[in-house]
Amino acid sequence: MSGPRPSSEAAFIDTLRVFAHHPAARGLLDDAAVLEVGPVTLVLTHDMLVEGVHFLPAQSPADVAWKLVAANLSDLAAKGADPLGVLLGYMLGEDDLDFQAGLIEVLEHYGVPLLGGDTVSGGPPQALGLTAIGRATYCPVPSRSGARPGQGLWLTGAVGAAMLGYEASRDGTGGDAEAFLRPMARLGEGIALAPFVTAMMDVSDGLLLDAWRMAEASEVSLAIDGAAVPIAAPEERRLDALRWGDDYELLFTLPRGVDPPVPATRIGAVEPRGFAPLFLDGEPLANRDGLGWEH
Amino acid sequence: MSGPRPSSEAAFIDTLRVFAHHPAARGLLDDAAVLEVGPVTLVLTHDMLVEGVHFLPAQSPADVAWKLVAANLSDLAAKGADPLGVLLGYMLGEDDLDFQAGLIEVLEHYGVPLLGGDTVSGGPPQALGLTAIGRATYCPVPSRSGARPGQGLWLTGAVGAAMLGYEASRDGTGGDAEAFLRPMARLGEGIALAPFVTAMMDVSDGLLLDAWRMAEASEVSLAIDGAAVPIAAPEERRLDALRWGDDYELLFTLPRGVDPPVPATRIGAVEPRGFAPLFLDGEPLANRDGLGWEH
């Protein structure tokens, strides 16, 4: 179960985890559930967005629809899954036609069918849910927990574009607002990478925070070379870019000597579990507070 | 897409329907999506419940959890599907531990695993979503649209218990509140019936309204013998019982001469499309208003 984690939420999930012992649930620790049905391996994910928490009332409903779909498809990308369709839980809002236009646009962009769902009244705040279902293209399906010492840590693309995009959409500054408002799910990259990676996840909440989570799930330490991380922001914003989420790049580990089949950058290494799960330029980051945006 | 249908909601769905042309979506007209993945046929459904619309703030969160799960499993039952798991979209509320207790209770009752989902803050009103995924046990998967003239119209169990249960939970009268608060999904019955039925759906919004929907989907008229419908209420409440939902019985059609493999009652017949989609004791019901509870 991804998303923000205030203490009550963490407690809720921790209790559920004890109950969610089906292997498909992956202890509720992964980006998605992985369910074997006969010869088919399914990947399933569900995200909710709430007005005032995950998006602002002033935000364009079409952009909200885009992000809702893209964020879920990004979870499938992290599993190397090919999307089969989505189900939408839609609470009617201020401009349903604009939401619908954005929904159709993003689903057509990714070639993913709308399979069904539910439409309700209620709110404000408007609450939206999306379930995405995909078919794994490679088994075993990548998880967060497979990173092993000696392997390399890699990242597709760059981080920081969504940060600038957010600032542009808020302040009208020079960044590309689309990078924040209409993120791209790396579905093709995920499918290409799945046969090679030892661990993979999408970077939705900030590179450092998500790397921390991968380190914890894999019971290793990850050592990141901060200067090696490609950033789509001015150099003086490098540290901010490492902490910002919403870029939806893929973070993954590869055995030594294996090159990724898609453009990506080696940003660090997997080490035996040390003093902290995460090291940035040799400095241990012992506390996850402030590593990312728990938004 | 099931649930209440005020005009804005109907308009929203009508627009989406044009876009949801994938055969798995069944035109958004059925209880669930039916998706073929290789040799596997999946059945997928998603429902939302909103505080103040679908449940009251005073209602026990454990009961809300039960109903959320049971209503979705009932959609799988109508397709003869065997549940594989659920994903929960949970907005934190007043008593999360009570919700969790009810969730665990209902999932253990049905032997269905929690696969994943999302937990968010936000509200009030609290909004909850549940996705249920099942595997079809018989193909073709029953739909609402297969009723043909000359066939019999059948119902499992009785209607009206949820009505009395609602009144009991509201007024402390003599009905069994559990029948309303903790409905049962007819999963076993659905699986047993799937190979025999020509059409099937669950009765969630009222027998007359749901029969109307089956008649429309099948382009036939359904003639119901009101006196033949088993009711779990005093005789003077018969008409109310026909209009009340929440009993989650299965309504289905069978070829003439075929007996159902589970206890059920023949309550009418399928006729060629006549003046109205629905006839009750020979009287045409030309308007769907007031046939059921659009709650």
Alpha-carbon span A99 to A242, nearest angstrom = 31
The pLDDT of residue A130 is above 60 = yes
Q: Which of B22, B52, B129 sits opposite A89 (nearest CB)?
A: B129
- pLDDT tens digits along B58-91: 889 999 999 999 999 999 999 999 999 999 999 9
- pLDDT tens digits along B261-270: 999 999 999 9
Note the pLDDT of residue B293: 61
Question: Degrees (nearest 5) of the Cα angle A55, A294, A251?
Answer: 105
| Chain B residues with beta carbon closer than 8 angstroms to that of A39 | 38-40
Residue B13: pLDDT band (50, 70, 90) is: confident
Instruction: Residues B31-136: name the CATH superfamily.
Output: PurM-like, N-terminal domain (3.30.1330.10)
Please say whether the beta carbons of B195 and B260 come within 8 A: no
Note the pLDDT of residue B30: 77
Q: Where in chain A is the domain with CATH 3.90.650.10?
A: 152-285
- CA B201 to chain CA centroid, Å, is 7
Note the pLDDT of residue B294: 58
Taken in order A138, A139, A142, A148, the sign of the CA dihedral is negative
Please say whether the beta carbons of B222 and B153 come within 8 A: yes
DSSP-derived pairing of the beta strands B221-224 and B283-285: unpaired
Using alpha carbons, list the distances in angstroms from residue B52 to A65, A125, B79, B98: 25, 13, 30, 18
Give the chain A residue nearest B4 (alpha carbons).
Answer: A120
CB contact under 8 Å between B85 and A123, yes or no, is no
Residue B7: pLDDT band (50, 70, 90) is: low
CB contact under 8 Å between A118 and B51, yes or no, is no
Q: Which of B40, B44, B91 sits opposite A48 (nearest CB)?
A: B91
> What mean pLDDT do residues B272-288 have?
91
Higher pLDDT, residue B20 or B85:
B85
> What mean pLDDT do residues A220-233 have?
97
Residue A265: pLDDT band (50, 70, 90) is: very high
DSSP-derived pairing of the beta strands B33-37 and B40-50: antiparallel
CA distance to partner chain A, nearest, from residue B9 (Å): 7
Please list the helix, strand and coil fractions of chain A in percent, rounded to the nearest 5, in that order: 35, 25, 40
Alpha-carbon span B280 to B287, nearest angstrom = 12
Question: Half-sphere exposure of residue A69, counting CA atoms within 13 Å on the CB side?
Answer: 30
Please say whether the beta carbons of A197 and A251 come within 8 A: no
- Which of A48, A90, A98 has the most B C-beta neighbours within 10 Å, making it the best mutation to test the interface with B? A48
CB contact under 8 Å between A85 and B37, yes or no, is no
Q: Where are the alpha helices (DSSP H) in B112-176?
A: 161-171
Give the chain A residue nearest B34 (alpha carbons).
Answer: A115
| Chain A residues with beta carbon closer than 8 angstroms to that of B76 | none
Note the pLDDT of residue A1: 43
Note the pLDDT of residue A200: 98
Neighbours of A10 (CB within 10 A): 13
Alpha-carbon span A265 to A226, nearest angstrom = 12
| Chain A residues with beta carbon closer than 8 angstroms to that of B92 | 8-9, 12
The pLDDT of residue A199 is above 50 = yes
Q: Which of A209, A86, A210, A190 is nearest to A141 (CA)?
A: A190
CB contact under 8 Å between A133 and B15, yes or no, is no
Tell me the pTM.
Answer: 0.92
The pLDDT of residue A177 is above 50 = yes
Alpha-carbon span B97 to B126, nearest angstrom = 15
Note the pLDDT of residue B5: 47
**Is the backbone peptide bond immediately before B125 cis, with ω within 30 degrees of 0?**
yes
The pLDDT of residue A176 is above 90 = no
Phi, psi of B47 (to 5 degrees): -125, 150
- Which of A46, A110, A141 has the most B C-beta neighbours within 10 Å, making it the best mutation to test the interface with B? A46
Q: Which of B8, B116, B131 sits opposite A28 (nearest CB)?
A: B116
Q: Which of B32, B39, B104 sits opposite A116 (nearest CB)?
A: B32
Question: Half-sphere exposure of residue B273, counting CA atoms within 13 Å on the CB side?
Answer: 10
Q: Where in chain A is the domain with CATH 3.30.1330.10?
A: 31-136
Question: Half-sphere exposure of residue B211, counting CA atoms within 13 Å on the CB side?
Answer: 35
Using alpha carbons, list the distances in angstroms from residue B276 to B223, B238, B254: 10, 22, 21
Q: Mind giving me the DSSP string for A1-12? A: -BS---HHHHHH
The ipTM estimated for the assembled molecules is 0.91
Please say whether the beta carbons of B154 and B252 come within 8 A: yes
Neighbours of B286 (CB within 10 A): 9
- Which of A47, A112, A120, A295 has the most B C-beta neighbours within 10 Å, making it the best mutation to test the interface with B? A120
DSSP-derived pairing of the beta strands A81-91 and B283-285: unpaired
Give the chain A residue nearest B134 (alpha carbons).
Answer: A37
CA distance to partner chain A, nearest, from residue B110 (Å): 14
Helix B96-110 with B61-77: angle, nearest 10 deg: 30
How large a percentage of chain B has pLDDT more than 90?
A: 75
Q: Which of B9, B32, B131 sits opposite A121 (nearest CB)?
A: B9
Alpha-carbon span A139 to A160, nearest angstrom = 32
- Taking CB atoms and an 8 Å cut-off, how many pairs form between chains A and B? 245
**Phi-psi category of A218—alpha, beta or left, where left has phi over 0 and alpha has psi -120 to 50?**
alpha
Rg (CA), chain B: 18
CB contact under 8 Å between B123 and A89, yes or no, is no
Note the pLDDT of residue A96: 93
CB contact under 8 Å between B116 and A87, yes or no, is no
Give the chain A residue nearest B38 (alpha carbons).
Answer: A40
Higher pLDDT, residue B267 or A57:
B267
Residues in chain B: 295
- pLDDT tens digits along A60-118: 999 999 999 999 999 999 999 999 999 999 999 989 999 999 999 999 999 999 999 99
Amino acid at A48: M
Structure tokens at A49: 């967005």
Alpha-carbon span A239 to B76, nearest angstrom = 49
Note the pLDDT of residue A293: 61
Name which CATH class applies to B152-285: alpha beta
Alpha-carbon span A12 to B92, nearest angstrom = 9
Average pLDDT, chain A: 91
> What mean pLDDT do residues B269-287 have?
93
Note the pLDDT of residue B31: 76
Note the pLDDT of residue A214: 96
- Which of A14, A31, A37, A41 has the most B C-beta neighbours within 10 Å, making it the best mutation to test the interface with B? A37
Please say whether the beta carbons of B102 and B164 come within 8 A: no
Strand B40-50's sheet: what is its strand order? B33-37, B40-50, B127-136, B81-91, B114-120
Give the chain B residue nearest A107 (alpha carbons).
Answer: B19
Q: Which of B53, B89, B115 sits opposite A24 (nearest CB)?
A: B115
Alpha-carbon span A61 to A50, nearest angstrom = 12
CB contact under 8 Å between A50 and B91, yes or no, is yes
Helix (H/G/I), strand (E/B), else coil: A266: strand
Average pLDDT, chain B: 91
Residue B97: pLDDT band (50, 70, 90) is: very high
The pLDDT of residue B246 is above 50 = yes
- Which of B98, B120, B144 has the most A C-beta neighbours within 10 Å, making it the best mutation to test the interface with A? B120
| Chain B residues with beta carbon closer than 8 angstroms to that of A42 | 37, 42, 133
